[in-house]
Structure 1
Amino acid sequence: MTAAAPLPVAARTVVLVEGVSDRAAVLAAARGQGRDLTAEGVHVVAMGGATAVRRHLARVTAGPPGVRVRGLYDLAEEGFFRRALGAADGQDLTAAGFFACVADLEEELIRAVGTAGVEAVVREHSEARALATFRRQPAQCGRRPEAQLHRFLGTTSGRKARYARALVEHLDPPAVPAPLRRLLACT
């Protein structure tokens, strides 16, 4: 579903995520639980960034009544979500069904899979050579392996979404990062 598309008539729940990689991870995690979100009436919307949350919330609330809204966001972007939801400072957004990733979902996935696991997934995708070349770049020398992997995932168009899905698929469902597990539990 694109940002301009109307909500599907069968929407029971709309999940707002910042980007396409977050959407890919949510869908992969749901599949890992044996769930078909579309069949359940759950629609995952990549908003194109946290600053669009107010606009997307307005679309949902202007649509059919009774549609629940849930979300996943980066902790650094919490202010946008807090303002859009009308939440007071210090109010727990999880009560509204919105869950924060510490840095971002990619960082959560790298931590959950582990450096060796991410490197194995990179090898499975035939990009070990590209990763080795990337790590030799002067800007990457001296950086922690996790930071290198995080940056590597965002260097090519489509790579973040491809690896978000692959990293989730690499994990057993109970090992999926907590914000993602909690989001799916309330959809």
Structure 2
Amino acid sequence: MQATTVLVEGESDRLAVETLAVRLGHDLAAERVSVVPMGGATSIIHFLDRYGPSGADHRLLGLCDAGESRGVARALDRAGVGSGPLAELGFHVCDADLEDELIRCLGVDAVLDVIAAQGELASFRLLQRQPSQRERTVTAQLRRFFGGRSGNKVRYAPLLVEALPAGHAPPPLALLVASFSG
């Protein structure tokens, strides 16, 4: 069985992918699937050199944000992985980012429940009262909450995935994990 390397932008993405995979019954080690955070999509060339056709020749899959998708597509083409729609190459695109996808999939109330369970609802409410946040949507405020404090994305990614109702996950994440078997 060929090894599969799943390239994701960061550590929070890795945790979200691995959490959903385990929830869906995947044994990543047995399936020879490794989820590798790149420290940002702009590092993809290094990882394609290492795991792609000119390196270890792993089956490559990935997840990226819409803002990074053109660069990812160019890098995949240059590395000999292929060209065309990213989904056909096994790379799935989040509209804004994975946190945005999770917020939309769960709904604001469920996300607030996760934050409350962590004892941080008062902190989120404080953020909402900041002048720069008052006119923003709750979704934008939540994205700021997750991205604004060091470690919050990493902390909350698996918690948000665990909060997803069975059978529901953001399409890019669900499609990526479903492709592990294929």
Tell me the TM-score normalised to structure 2 length. 0.91
- Alignment map for 1:149-164 (pairs within 5 Å): 149-164=142-157
Gaps of at least 5 residues in structure 1 are 1-9
For the Cα contact (< 8 Å) 1:102–1:108, is it kept in 2? yes
Q: Once the 2 structures are TM-superposed, how far is the Cα of residue 93 of structure 1 from its aligned partner?
A: 1.2
Supply the distance in 2 between the matched residues of 1:64 and 1:108 (Cα, whole angstroms). Answer: 31
Q: Once the 2 structures are TM-superposed, how far is the Cα of residue 38 of structure 1 from its aligned partner?
A: 2.4
Indicate the residue corresponding to 1:170 in structure 2: 163
Query: Match of 2:157, as an amino acid?
Result: A
Indicate the residue corresponding to 2:67 in structure 1: 76
One of 82, 86, 90 as aligned partner of 1:93:
86
Q: Once the 2 structures are TM-superposed, how far is the Cα of residue 33 of structure 1 from its aligned partner?
A: 0.5
Q: Once the 2 structures are TM-superposed, how far is the Cα of residue 78 of structure 1 from its aligned partner?
A: 0.9
One of 121, 124, 138 as aligned partner of 2:117:
124
Q: Once the 2 structures are TM-superposed, how far is the Cα of residue 128 of structure 1 from its aligned partner?
A: 0.8
Where 1:15 maps in the other structure, the secondary structure is strand
Q: Once the 2 structures are TM-superposed, how far is the Cα of residue 94 of structure 1 from its aligned partner?
A: 1.0
- Alignment map for 1:45-84 (pairs within 5 Å): 45-61=36-52, 62-65=54-57, 67-84=58-75
Identity %: 45
Supply the distance in 1 between the matched residues of 2:166 and 2:60 (Cα, whole angstroms). Answer: 23
Supply the distance in 2 between the matched residues of 1:36 and 1:183 (Cα, whole angstroms). Answer: 15
Indicate the residue corresponding to 2:24 in structure 1: 33
For the Cα contact (< 8 Å) 1:11–1:43, is it kept in 2? no
For the Cα contact (< 8 Å) 2:48–2:55, is it kept in 1? no
Q: Once the 2 structures are TM-superposed, how far is the Cα of residue 11 of structure 1 from its aligned partner?
A: 7.0
Supply the distance in 1 between the matched residues of 2:148 and 2:97 (Cα, whole angstroms). Answer: 16
Q: Deviations over 1:1-41 (max 9, x none)?
A: xxxxxxxxx97100000011111100111111122212321
Supply the distance in 2 between the matched residues of 1:47 and 1:163 (Cα, whole angstroms). Answer: 19
Query: Match of 1:106, as an amino acid?
Result: E
Task: State the aligned residue count.
Answer: 175
- Runs (4 or more) in structure 1 with deviation over 6 Å come to none
Where 2:64 maps in the other structure, the secondary structure is strand
For the Cα contact (< 8 Å) 1:134–1:140, is it kept in 2? yes
1:183 equivalenced with 2:181 (yes/no):
no
Indicate the residue corresponding to 1:108 in structure 2: 101
1:44 equivalenced with 2:35 (yes/no):
yes
For the Cα contact (< 8 Å) 1:11–1:42, is it kept in 2? no
Q: Deviations over 1:30-53 (max 9, x none)?
A: 111122212321000000001011
Supply the distance in 1 between the matched residues of 2:76 and 2:5 (Cα, whole angstroms). Answer: 14
Tell me the TM-score normalised to structure 1 length. 0.89
